Amino acid sequence: MIGAGFGGLGAAIKLDEMGERDFLVIEKDDGIGGTWRANSYPGAACDVPSQLYSFSFAPNPDWSASFSPQPEIEAYLVRVAEESGTLDRFRFGVAVTDAAWDDTAKHWRVTLSDDSTITATTLISAAGGLSEPKLPEIEGITEFAGTIFHSARWNHEADLAGKRIAVIGTGASAIQIVPQLQKQAARLDVYQRTAPWVIPRNEHRYTAVEKFAFRNLPLVQKASRTAIYWGRETYVPAFTAMPKLAFPAKQMALLNIRRGIKDPALRAKVTPDYEIGCKRILISNTYYPALASDNVDVVTDRIARITPTGIVTADGTEREIDVLVVATGFHTTEQPIAQHVRGRDGDTLAKVWATSGQSAYKGTTVHGFPNLFEIVGPNTGLGHSSMVFIIESQLAYITDAIRTMRRGGLATVEPKAEVQQAWNDDLQHRMKRTVWSTGGCASWYLDEHGRNTTLWPRSTFVFRQLLRRFDADAYQTTPVATPIK
């Protein structure tokens, strides 16, 4: 397994439960947590409710609030890992540098950053869809002489109090960071290329009574989880295909601007000019008030270049800064792990996907890459619900695949090319009608050809149903070799 976030940890636990104890989880970072370890910026918190953003098999009665802060999610994952008894099969601080399928031996040969090599009949990649920070290609960025770091690589040593700070980006990360920086910066410049839609964060801290109920009456926690799940499923997926249904959300977002910002010019600057939902809908009660503060400027002029001392915009203005926070997102449609995984013909996933765009069967398996399972693979992302639900659906599919291989004496399983093609044709057909395609925005959901290869266009319930059982008929297989007598 590659990665020790929700995906890799979940896979370890599920394999262990079914008696498949001979596995190794390789994690490049120094501990459990994946994205919830890497993203430790001030204000980091989940924008999916805590009850849903946790494993169904490991409920947590101790969440402090309806949306959990990052340190609580990281601590939750560490605790679940410790209690699972699987930690002895995790190796931290080493990265996978190459994983090549050996079609003669019918196994994966995996090379690690410490130059060691291991072999595995099955490779589960849970390297994360949002794990590799994307730096903007802005002239002069490497010349900046002050403190500079990406939101996902927060420099906790940096002294920010009383400093002149700039944040580039106004996505989900930036809108959590900006209110925190505003409190301590002498001046904060927020460089906005495209305004996000931001609705209120309907959050509350759990009371002692609620926590007592979650701890002692498991049904209460289960009911809360189910209610949140269905609340999201019945409304949000529908409006990706029928944007008019988004009218109430749009009104909520506009009201959020009016409540948070009094100045009409600033209101106009931060009001998006594309359909709500086209980019990820963000949630915050503190972002707009922070932008309206005296020490904050929202800069919408295009960035021309970065100098050793500041940022120059297209109109020639230079704003001097001490600290530059780059909140410009991640490599999403060209996942870095794809450069290291080589299939039956020796080509990397990245090369195979370079022409066709990233694609997989059921977001999990790829033709030409036997016994490879990708957790949070192509078209499994969500804008409205919990990725943990998707991950658990994939875990059910993968464990059933391994069970099927054991029972059927199969050495390899690989999705048929035509089955994978049909799956993706259907997905892309559905995509054309969604707000992600028709909403008039550019987003990280789309690849360079404008294809949405990141999101799941239907309800998560449908995804779960489709991955409930491993469908061996969709696969070409080879039997385990038997000795010649």
Give residues in contact with ligand N01 (CB under 6 A).
Answer: 46-47, 130, 136, 138, 151, 168-174, 191, 193-194, 280, 303, 327-330, 444
Least spacing, CB of residue 306 vs ligand N01, in Å: 10
Residue (405 or 446) nearer to ligand N01, CB = 446
Question: Could you tell me which of 459, 46, 56 has the C-alpha nearest to residue 230?
Answer: 459
By DSSP bridging, strand 303-306 and strand 310-313 are antiparallel
The nearest distance, CB 17 to ligand N01, in angstroms, is: 27
Q: Which amino acid, one-letter code, is at 227?
A: A
Q: What's the min distance (Å) between Cβ of 192 and ligand N01?
A: 7
Residue 176 or 420 having the CB closest to ligand N01: 176
Considering beta carbons, is residue 42 or 136 the nearer one to ligand N01? Answer: 136
Residue type, 52: L
Q: How far is the CB of 134 from ligand N01 (least distance, A)?
A: 7
Q: With respect to ligand N01, which residue has the nearer C-beta, 173 or 459?
A: 173
The whole-angstrom separation of Cα 41 and Cα 151 is 6
Cβ neighbours for 73, distance < 8 A, ≥ 6 positions apart:
33, 36, 46, 53
Nearest to 386 by CA among 39, 42, 49: 49
Question: Beta strands 410-415 and 475-479: pairing type?
Answer: antiparallel
Residue 294 or 448: the one with the smaller Cβ distance to ligand N01 is 448
Amino acid at 332: T
Q: How far is the CB of 39 from ligand N01 (least distance, A)?
A: 7
Closest by CA to 376, choosing from 398, 347, 345, is 398
Q: How many Å apart are CA 322 and CA 201, to the nearest integer?
A: 31
Residue 159, classed as helix, strand or coil, is coil
Place of tokens 């385990």: 480
Q: Considering beta carbons, is residue 328 or 412 the nearer one to ligand N01? A: 328
Shortest Cβ 303–ligand N01 spacing (Å) = 6
DSSP strands (E only) in 307-460: 310-313, 318-320, 323-326, 341-342, 372-374, 410-415
CB of residue 416 vs ligand N01: minimum separation in angstroms? 32
Q: Which is nearer to ligand N01, 89 or 134 (CB)?
A: 134
Half-sphere exposure of 118 (CA within 13 A, CB side): 19
